[in-house]
Amino acid sequence: MAEPTMAVREGSTPRDEPLMSVRDLQVEFSTSAGVVRALDGVSFDVRRGETIAILGESGSGKSVTAQAIMALLPKPAGSIVGGSIHYAGRDLAALPIGDVRRICGTEIAMIFQDPLSSLNPVFRVGWQIAEPFRKRLGMDKQQARAKALELLDRVGIPDAGRRIRDYPHQFSGGQRQRIMIAMAIALEPKLLIADEPTTALDVTVQSQIMKLLANLQAETGMGMILISHDLGVVADVAERAAIMYAGRIVESGTIRQVYDYPAHPYTQGLLASIPSTKAIGERLVPIAGAPPNLLALPTGCSFHPRCPYAVDRCRAEIPLLRRPDGWEPGHVAACFRSEEVLAHD
């Protein structure tokens, strides 16, 4: 079991096959107040060169999805209780944590929201960026440093030759995120998971970082899972979007399908909540109520208490993702009344 498996690194996927395929993923947290199902039946695919955006509000399970993939669920509280995460012919959900971490170290990389807390304050950034080259590829210090310098250049840190000797606190927030991105792409991962990568940054920096991510993806052809609460930030970069609510994917499709023809009342509500140039000074149309307590989910569709379309059936049955006749392929929503929701728009 502890044998390092080199076969995993060689595992290549045919072009049309999904790079990663998450099926019916279920994650539970045990808390003092009871067992919380943080993810329930989450399924999606990521192909190489493709960006999928996972969108949702706090508590919707978007970050838990990333944590489950990377085996970063807080132990012992959180665990995967069902479903599978297929990657390169293996099921990450069934593998021991050590093996998953080994795969994640080289082939799946992740960047987090807060770059300062993900960097070690007492080491120079060059040393930290070079770490995967030393640890994983066994390069010597000089080689690793040269690679680190190359990476810093590539992510757009000006004067990289001098800055490589600086400590994390000497960089601005945007530069720190660039450094995190440099570390993430160091070993040329096949899949990059970015959990709210620009949330902590200024708007002008935010658009630069998103551009950087898009460019790097175009160069390397890696798959990307972009997790965000901001529907605007991902619109330029992602091809497909999955909207999450209370641990389930409630709608997914291409970005344009989902944004232009929202088929789930929640998606529609989210889009209406965004302050826009067209309605200055007018009242926003928020979604009524608050996201549900995961410990006491409503019966049936967990969105029904906030939903203007809810009928009796919504209170009794949990709707599954479906594509009714006449919709474009790939656009699915978990709502009994999607036809009315679409017609309404």
Write out the residues near other proteins by the rule CB under 8 A.
57-59, 173, 202-207, 229-233, 235-236, 256, 259-260, 269-277, 279-281, 283-287, 290-291, 293
- Shortest separation between residue 181's beta carbon and other proteins, angstroms: 18
To other proteins, the closest distance from the beta carbon of 237 in angstroms equals 10
Q: Measured from the CB of residue 210, what is the shortest distance to other proteins in angstroms? A: 8
Nearer to other proteins, 11 or 259 (CB): 259
Least separation in angstroms between residue 111's CB and other proteins is 18
C-beta closer to other proteins: residue 142 or 277: 277
| 38 burial type by CB count under 10 A (0-12 exposed, 13-18 middle, 19+ buried) | buried
Strand partners for 193: 110, 225
Long-range contacts of 38-41 (CB under 8 A, 24+ apart): 38/64, 38/78, 38/247, 38/294, 39/64, 39/65, 39/68, 39/247, 39/248, 40/247, 40/248, 41/83, 41/248, 41/249
Nearer to other proteins, 58 or 142 (CB): 58
Pairing of strands 51-56, 108-111: unpaired
To other proteins, the closest distance from the beta carbon of 257 in angstroms equals 12
Nearer to other proteins, 5 or 31 (CB): 31
Q: Which residues pair with 54 in a beta bridge?
A: 227, 242
Cα 246 to chain center, whole Å? 16
* Cα–Cα dist 28/30, whole Å: 7
Exposed / middle / buried, residue 316 (Cβ in 10 Å: 0-12, 13-18, 19+) = exposed
Give 128 or 206: the residue with its C-beta nearer to other proteins: 206
Is the preceding omega at residue 76 within 30 degrees of 0, hence cis?
A: yes
> Of 233 and 242, which CB lies nearer to other proteins in the complex structure?
233
The distance of closest approach from Cβ of residue 278 to other proteins in the complex, given in angstroms and rounded to an integer, is 10
Residue 26, strand partner residues: 82
Whole-number minimum distance, CB 328 to other proteins, in Å? 15
Give the nearer residue to other proteins in terms of CB position, either 183 or 244: 244
Q: How far is the CB of 156 from other proteins (least distance, A)?
A: 16
CA nearest to 319, candidates 308, 303, 339: 303
Degrees (nearest 5) of the Cα angle 158, 162, 168?
A: 80
Q: Which two tokens stand for residue 180?
A: 């995190």
Report the nearest approach of other proteins to the CB of residue 91 (Å).
31
Look at strands 34-46 and 51-56 and give their pairing. unpaired
Phi, psi of 240 (to 5 degrees): -120, 155
Residue 168 and residue 176 in contact, taking contact as beta carbons nearer than 8 Å: yes
Task: Please identify, using beta-carbon distances, which residue of 291 and 298 lies nearer to other proteins.
Answer: 291
Tell me the one-letter amino acid at 73: L
For residues 223 and 265, which CB has a smaller minimum distance to other proteins in the complex? 265
